[in-house]
């Protein structure tokens, strides 16, 4: 059994509504900070927090939209996300506030710390790592990538996992490999997974207005260009995250391919 709850905290002029998922028992547990995609903290990413908790990780899914999601509102999402991604100091402030919530949770092991970020949330957790947060593992899925400079990563000791789709026009394989080259020059332990045929947000299941799956790969609501669901690669990417965390912060991965 796991225990979950919403956690509100104030930052960036908003009241954020994050999501804490705790494993069974009294800890201490390896701790994971999760950053959501630009669309907002949705049920999928709450589900990732729950799955991590079931694997033995105390997980806090941050919020950076003040409790809002932008389903079917791509322009409103871009109006919120693009200014944020152009302001590293603001991203760092938002990320640090969420990290403080995670580390204040009873049972959080401050010496066994990892992070997972999707899209804009990936960029936020990269900013935290770049400025010295001692993550032992950092997994990012189609992240917003910073300028690739080796000198930004020379003090980073964690293992990096970078995932994107071969058909992603927002986080392209070329961008991932250019960024990985900077990590290589900095002496960082990194790996990159390029998923053939996958588009941006390939983990996001297209849903009906009632939340039920459409059964297809196309989203019915408006999205930014280049978005598409790929069930097999969504499962493979999740297993890659579990494998990374198992290797680096000690909880056992497994349980087969998730849905």
More confident residue, 109 or 71: 109
Q: Give dist(CA 239, CA 251) in Å, integer.
A: 13
**Domains, the chain, ranges and CATH?**
3-249 (3.40.50.1820)
- Indicate if the pLDDT at residue 258 is higher than 60: no
pLDDT at 222: 61
The pLDDT tens digits of the residues spanning 95-106 come to 999 999 999 999
Does the predicted model carry a pTM greater than 0.75? yes
pLDDT at 212: 61
pLDDT at 2: 96
Q: For 160-176, what is the mean pLDDT?
A: 98
């Amino acid at each position: 059994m796991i225990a979950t709850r919403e956690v509100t905290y104030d930052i960036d002029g908003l009241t954020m509504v994050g999501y804490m998922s705790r494993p069974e028992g009294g800890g201490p547990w390896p701790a994971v900070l999760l950053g959501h995609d630009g669309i907002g903290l949705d049920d999928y990413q709450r589900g990732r927090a729950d799955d991590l908790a079931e694997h033995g990780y105390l997980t806090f899914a941050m919020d950076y939209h003040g409790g809002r999601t932008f389903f079917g509102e791509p322009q409103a999402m871009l109006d919120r996300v693009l200014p944020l991604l152009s302001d590293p100091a603001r991203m760092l402030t938002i990320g640090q506030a969420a990290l403080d919530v995670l580390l204040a949770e009873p049972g959080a092991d401050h010496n066994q710390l990892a992070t997972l970020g999707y899209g804009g949330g990936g960029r936020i957790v990269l900013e935290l790592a770049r400025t010295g947060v001692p993550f032992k593992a950092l997994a990012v899925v189609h992240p917003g990538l910073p300028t690739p400079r080796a000198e930004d990563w020379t003090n980073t000791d964690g293992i990096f996992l970078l995932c994107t789709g071969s058909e992603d026009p927002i986080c392209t394989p070329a961008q991932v490999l250019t960024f990985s080259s900077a990590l290589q020059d900095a002496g960082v332990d990194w790996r990159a997974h390029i998923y053939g045929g996958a588009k941006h947000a390939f983990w996001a299941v297209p849903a009906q207005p009632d939340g039920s799956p459409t059964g297809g790969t196309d989203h019915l609501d408006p999205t930014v260009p280049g978005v598409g669901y790929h069930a097999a690669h969504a499962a493979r990417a999740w297993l890659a995250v579990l494998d990374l965390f198992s290797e680096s912060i000690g909880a056992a991965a497994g349980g087969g391919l998730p849905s």
